Every structure is written in C-alpha cells, then in structure tokens.
Structure 1
Amino acid sequence: MTRLHAVRADITRQAVDAIIDAANSSLLGGGGVDGAIHRAAGPELLAETRTLGGCPPGEARLSRGYWLPAKHVIHTVGPVWNGGGRGEAEVLANCYRNCFAIAAREGFVTLAFPAISTGIYGYPAEPAAEIAVRETRAALAANAGWDCVTFALLSGDQLAIYEPLLDESQ
C-alpha cells in the first residue's frame, strides 16, 4: 500500500529515491527550494544541470543527488502565476505528471515533493495543493509501485492546507 503524507520538513534532508526540485528554467540554481537543493547537493549538481539544456515549464529533468540523502533530483519548472487565465493549472499539473513519469521509468519507489510554484512564482497555495494531491492520486492509481510519496513543506501554513486534502482523498 502506498503511503501518501505531508510533513513540515526540509526537502533536502529527505532520504528518498528522488526529491523534486521546484527549479527555474535554466536548472542552474536560484532561490527558495531550488537554491537550497543546489547548496545541499554540492557543486556537482550544478555541473550536471549545466549539461541538461534547461527545462521548459511543465516538463522535468533528472539528475543525481550527490551530497543529498536523496539518490536523485527530478527538476521541474512550475508556472509563474499570472491570475490563472494563462494555462497555469495545466502547466502545474504537467509538472507532477512528468515527475511521476520519470520516477516510473527509473523504478523509484519513494519521492518527496515541495509545494511547486507557490514561492516566488506566486501560485496560490490552496489551488496548487489541490492540483498536487489530485495528480499524485492519479499517478498512484496508475502505478501501485510507489512505497511512499511525501509532500515536504516548509511551513505550518502549507501543511494546514495539505492535511485536509489528504484526509479527504484517503
């Protein structure tokens, strides 16, 4: 049985097959979760992401985890919030779909996600969480091979948004 849960935690400390990086399109590091992952993984991560050729919004790329407890990093670029009328929801849903596609292809069984696009990209936290939980449930229904999917969230406010959504969908 797949375990799906949310915790208030530093994603860079998750000992999983892959953590998901809420990256920018260059994949060369930045602020927020992306910057924290690059700092924790060490300079080898930057060297590898330089070879990946960037990543358009909604897509995902795979790298090694280097100094992280996670074996791999799946980098995905979420949408910048522009009021919701420019396809932001579909781009965000594609982030999750493409991360799960990579995880399935690689045989990963444990994953940790941040709250993609809710930081500097400004996506409202509640609709972003609804998309995250919906797409995760869909992926888990399609592939029973995952042991644990964690939403590693930075704040108690984020956790308070995710917990009822997870309770509703159990």
Structure 2
Amino acid sequence: MRRVLVIGCSGSGKSTFARRLAALLDLPVTHLDRHYWRPGWVEAPDDEFRAAQQAVVVGERWVIDGNYSGSMDIRLPRADTIVFLDLPRWRCLLRIARRTLRGWGRDGQAAGCPEHLDPAFWRWVWRWHRGSRPHLLARLAEQGSHTRQVVLSSPREVTGFLNAVSVGGRE
C-alpha cells in the first residue's frame, strides 16, 4: 500500500482512519475537505480543487481521504488500494451528532469551518446510503478494478485492519 484512497459516508471515520493508516505506513496524508472548503464553508473553485488533488497524486506515496465523486477521476487511476468505510447510517449520524455536540472538529476539517448543526447536511448523510453509495460502488466496479479494494463495515473491522497493518507492516 503506497497510494491509498479512503472513502465512505460522512461520519464513517475517513479522516481518523486515514491519519492512523498514514502513520502506520509512514505515508503523507491529504484530507480533501481541507482543499475543498474555504472559511465559512465556501466551496473552492473547481479548477483549484482539481489542481490540489493532481499535485498530490503525482507522488508515489500518499493516503487521501474524501469522496468528492466529481474529481474521483483524478485519484482512482493512481490509487493502488481503496478502503471503503461502509458503516451503517445510524453509526455515521451518531458520530456526527457526538462530534458536533462535544465541539470536536473533524481530523481533516478545513480552517474556518466549525462543526454546526446543519439540517441539509444531516439529510444528505441520511440519504447517502441509498443515493451516493450505489453510484460510488458502481464507479469502483467500473474504474477501480485495477486496485485492491477493502470494505470495512464495522468499528471492529476497522480496528482489525489497522492492527493487521501494524503487525504486518505494509500488508
């Protein structure tokens, strides 16, 4: 594993997982949210967001967390491993509620974008499993077949995978 893409629903733990995996493998980590969002939750211009990703994927070693399906074409061809955190919707929503209420930021959160209760975001997460998830799986089947794909569906599986990497090195 030298070029790892970490994907999944918001609240699935992508940023935390990416940071931990990168530390175990001694790889640089990039959180796409930091490149996509400007202070005050303003979206970056598409050309700037794409350029930031292109600058990362030319490298031989990286972990990138984030879905952003509109620019997956930049990351998918270069990834050698895709880790899909496919946790249940209720767990994703619970994690989002917990981090919002406790005032935790996300590991990959952009500067000037504090956690807040956002009904539109909650609806998006609620609908992700029926809307975005099938499209993401279809895209992986089409364009990601050259990569090793790992699907982790529970915190226990996530921990087991990270422990195996820790013990086995670069797996």
Please, what TM-score do these two structures have when normalized by structure 1? 0.39
Greater RCO, CA 8 A, separation 6+: 2
> Which structure: greater helix fraction?
2
Larger CA Rg, structure 1 vs 2: 2
